[in-house]
Structure 1
C-alpha cells in the first residue's frame, strides 16, 4: 500500500509540473498572439477619446503629459511582445504536447488509485517516460503568465485530483508573494491613482 501511495504522489507531482507547464505555454502563446493587437486597439481608443469634447472639458490639461507617457509605455510593451512573439507557434506545439501528457497522467492516476491488486511496474516505467518527454518545454515564458497560469490550472483545467493528492491550499493556488503579484498590486494602485487624478 505504501508503494502505491508513493506512486500516486509521484504521478500527482509530475501532473502538477507538466499540466502547469502546458497551461503556461498556452498563456504565453495567447499573450504573444492577442496582446499586441489589444494594445493597438486600446491606444486607438484613447486617441479617439482625446478628440472628444467630454475629454477636453473634464480632463485636467496637466494630465495630458502623463497620458502621453502611458501611451508610449504601452506602445513599447506592444513592440516588445510582438518581437518576442515571432516563435509563438512553438509555444502552442509544446503546450499541446504537455497537456496531452497531463491528461494521460490523470488517467493513470485514477487507474492506479481505483484498481486493486495492480502491477505497478508498467506505470512506473511510463511515468519515467512521461517525465522525459515533458522536457520539451520552453524556458523563456512571457512576463505575467505565472499568475494567470495559476488561475487557468486550478480553476479551468481538471486538476482537482492534483490538489487533493498533494494537499494544496489557497496559498499554493495563488502566488501572493511572487514578484509578478507585487507588480500586479502596484499596477492596480497606479491605475486607481491615475483614474482619480483624471476625474477628480
Structure 2
C-alpha cells in the first residue's frame, strides 16, 4: 500500500498518521499543501488533524483551497481512497468529498479525552477489521467536532449504511451521535476521533490498529 499524508501549515498529527500507516506496512510519502499533484501510484491519501492555517476562518475552509486538494479531489473521484481525521474530516467536508459540516462543540469548549466509539458499519475498507457493534476506545481532541447534516441527508446516510462510527456518549452534540461517515463509493472516510493516536500501546491503547491493518490487508489482496 502506498500512502500520502498531506501537510498543511498548522498540521500537528501528520507524523502520527504517517507512523500508523508505516506500522501497518505502508510506504508513506509526506506531501506539502502547495504541491499540485500527488505522487504516482498512491493508493490512499491521509488528511491529518491539527489546525490548518490556524482555522481562523472556518475549520478546514482555507486548507480545502490549497493546490494539493484539487489533486485529492481528482484522486477520490477516480476511485482512490482517502482518510480524513479531525481537521482532515473538516477539510473533506469543505471539499465536498463528504456531506455535512462540522460546527463548534455543543458545550463551546475544546475537548481532549478518550471516548467510546461503536462500529456502526463494518462494511467499509476502513472498518473491515472490526465487527458491527464493537465498541473501541479512541482519543478525540477538537473544538469544532459537532457533525451536522440535514434530516434528508441523515436518512440517506442511514439508508446507504454510510455511518461508520457513532459515539457511545456524545461529547460534542453531533447529530445522531455520528463520529465518522464514508462517501457514496465507501472509499473516503472522515472521522473526528484519532485512530492514529490509538495505534501504540505506549500511547495508552491500540484500538485504532485494526483500521490500518484492514486497509493494508485489503490492498495487498487486491
**Which TM bucket (shorter chain)?**
under 0.3
Structure richer in strand, relative to its length: 2
Q: TM-score, normalised by structure 1?
A: 0.26
Q: TM-score, normalised by structure 2?
A: 0.24
Structure richer in helix, relative to its length: 1
From the CA coordinates, give the structure whose radius of gyration is larger.
Answer: 1
